[in-house]
Amino acid sequence: MAGPAAGSHDRRPGGGPGRVLTRAAVRLLGGPGRIRVVVLLGGALALNSADTGTLGAAANQLETDLGISHAQLGLLATASSGVGAVASVPLGVLADRTNRVRLLVITTALWAAAMAVGGLAPSYGWLLLSRLLLGAAVAAAGPVVVSLTGDFIPPAERAGVLGWILAGELIGAGAGLLAGGEIAAAYSWRYAFFLLAAASAGLSVALWWLLPEPARGGASRLPPSEDAAEPGRRPDSGQQPTGRAQAAVSASGVAPAGDRVLTGDPNGWSLSRAAAYLLSIPTNRLLIVASSMGYFFFAGMRTFIVVFAVRHFGVPQTTLGALVPLIGVVALAGTVLAGRLTDRALARGHTGVRIVVPAVGYVAAALLFVPGVWSSSVVVALPLIALGAGALAVANPPLDAARLDIVPGRLWGRAESLRTVLRLAAEAAAPATFGWLADQLGGPAGRSSGIGLRNAFLIMLIPLAANGLIMIAARRSYPVDVATAAESDRTSNG
């Protein structure tokens, strides 16, 4: 059989922009299979943040069209998150016991329907009711995405891959702020809702056709392809019983907590027994609190940042649309780099890196946001706010990877649903709290100038900075909890 033409091989490395981008994606993500997982699971996470971003971008139009206050606008985001917090509990149980891809397909289709109903709303009450349906639909994303990631990606590379998946949240928020704001300003907020409904319906179809259900326990993990492997090293087999965190902890001689090592399959446990076990893990309790506080601030910021910028800096909304990508790019870079760099540091034996990096990120974010929010010059404030968003985004990939490290694999869905309850409760409280504080602190004059929102942002930076202290406390319990989860996986699977 004749080989390729002499010139074809020479052209392959540069074979056009499409081939270059494809090879770069393969090298960064680890192969076509992983690219599919990252794109589809990242798209599922993008839905909720795109919705909230659109809600914030269209805030001026919604408040004018429906005659509502800051607090009522915040309640729209609160309603969906509050219902999602309740719905995430049974959906987390289903994520541990049923076909997760099918569950994600169904809830994504319901999300599309809820957005379409919201776009047709003739009144504030109708729109509020549509948000309740929306909250029930998005609640499955967290538990299902984390559980699927654990079974698709080997432990040693989870933070890096989670960085790309979690980038979906930032891309969704940015798309909502940009596309939603432009469409709302040029046409109507209703068209922005319809666009999100169409995108969600398309994602539901793509999930159904393109994403297989992986076997639980690691049999379906996707090793990096030959093209993605580092020179001189063969890809892992995918049957990786321990990851770098477990190996580093084992090498340091840390013993598991004997009273928390599982000896049987926890799938038959009641919800209360599973919750009690998960809350008995010291590091898990601290990570849940820290993650919830981080998302609390992020939810309030993405709901009101456009209104704040327009009124505080006097920037037209169309001009603001050209500035938002800078914040998004910095936050996206923080998310992706944090995952990759923490995986590499863990490979060098730095056991606590998945705890230390989020601690530094939270404190740095608070310190950068203070002058960024206080300044009245957009030229001074924009770089500081962008760096603050990047520091806040740095915390998420190592935090999510650390939660998988400390929880036995057969409890991942319920562990994520427990976290999702508190996270969505925090996200539910944030917009209404930010809006109420802004109304109280600003008064009528402060509402038009953005002073009320500025003061609300500054007050809410206090709990964000406190997250750094919480993460320092988690550093002491993390090695024991990693060793306990690894031993539980060994004994319960055996």
Quick one: pLDDT at residue 325?
Answer: 72
Q: What is the 3-state secondary structure (H, E, C) of 316-369?
A: CHHHHHHHHHHHHHHHHHHHHHHHHHHHHHHHCCCCCHHHHHHHHHHHHHHHHH
Cβ-based neighbour number of residue 250 at 10 Å: 17
Q: If pLDDT is split at 50, 70 and 90, which confidence band does 103 have?
A: very high
Per-residue pLDDT reduced to its tens digit, 13-61: 445 555 544 565 566 666 778 888 999 999 988 887 788 778 877 877 8
Which amino acid would we find at residue 463?
P
Check pLDDT > 80 for residue 302.
Answer: no
Q: If pLDDT is split at 50, 70 and 90, which confidence band does 368 have?
A: very high
Quick one: pLDDT at residue 25?
Answer: 55
Tokens for 380, please give them.
Answer: 């001074």
Spatial distance between the Cα atoms of 351 and 46, rounded to a whole number of angstroms: 31
Element (H, E) at 375: none
Q: If pLDDT is split at 50, 70 and 90, which confidence band does 417 have?
A: confident
Check pLDDT > 50 for residue 8.
Answer: no
406 in any annotated domain:
yes
Spatial distance between the Cα atoms of 261 and 421, rounded to a whole number of angstroms: 25
168 in any annotated domain:
yes
295 in any annotated domain:
yes
pLDDT, mean over the chain:
80
348 in any annotated domain:
yes
Quick one: pLDDT at residue 256?
Answer: 87
Spatial distance between the Cα atoms of 133 and 442, rounded to a whole number of angstroms: 33
- 3-state secondary structure (DSSP) of residue 241: coil
C-alpha distances (whole Å) from 297 to each of 54, 86, 302, 365, 415 are 17, 21, 9, 11, 22
170 in any annotated domain:
yes
Quick one: pLDDT at residue 281?
Answer: 94
Q: Residue 140 carries which DSSP code?
A: T
CA atoms within 13 A on the CB side of 407: 32
Per-residue pLDDT reduced to its tens digit, 258-290: 889 888 888 888 888 999 999 999 999 999 888
Within 69-140, residue ranges assigned H as helices are: 70-97, 100-119, 124-138
Quick one: pLDDT at residue 330?
Answer: 85
Check pLDDT > 60 for residue 81.
Answer: yes
Check pLDDT > 80 for residue 293.
Answer: yes
223 in any annotated domain:
no
Output 49 or 465, whichever has higher pLDDT.
Answer: 465
Output 259 or 177, whichever has higher pLDDT.
Answer: 259
Cβ atoms of 167 and 42 closer than 8 Å: yes
Spatial distance between the Cα atoms of 418 and 412, rounded to a whole number of angstroms: 10
Count of residues in the chain: 494
Quick one: pLDDT at residue 440?
Answer: 82
Check pLDDT > 80 for residue 227.
Answer: no
Q: If pLDDT is split at 50, 70 and 90, which confidence band does 463 have?
A: confident
How big is the chain by its Cα radius of gyration, in Å?
Answer: 23
Contacts 24+ apart (CB under 8 A), 257-265: 257/480, 257/481, 257/483, 257/484, 260/484, 260/488, 261/484, 261/487, 261/488, 261/491, 262/408, 262/410, 262/488, 262/491, 262/492, 263/491, 263/492, 264/492, 265/410, 265/492
Quick one: pLDDT at residue 197?
Answer: 92
Quick one: pLDDT at residue 247?
Answer: 62
Cβ atoms of 493 and 219 closer than 8 Å: no
Quick one: pLDDT at residue 404?
Answer: 86
Buried b (16+ CB within 10 A) or exposed e, 219-238: eebbbbbeebbeeeeebbee
Quick one: pLDDT at residue 238?
Answer: 40
The dihedral region occupied by 67, where left means phi > 0, alpha psi between -120 and 50, and beta the remainder, is: left
Place of tokens 């939660």: 403
Domain range spanning residue 292? 29-216+254-493
Rounded to the nearest angstrom, the gap between the alpha carbon of residue 486 and the centroid of all alpha carbons in its chain is: 25
Spatial distance between the Cα atoms of 92 and 175, rounded to a whole number of angstroms: 28
Looking at residue 430, which CATH number applies to its domain?
1.20.1250.20
Quick one: pLDDT at residue 228?
Answer: 45
Tokens for 20, please give them.
Answer: 């270059």
The total number of structural domains in the chain stands at 1
101 in any annotated domain:
yes
Quick one: pLDDT at residue 21?
Answer: 44
4 in any annotated domain:
no
Q: If pLDDT is split at 50, 70 and 90, which confidence band does 205 have?
A: very high
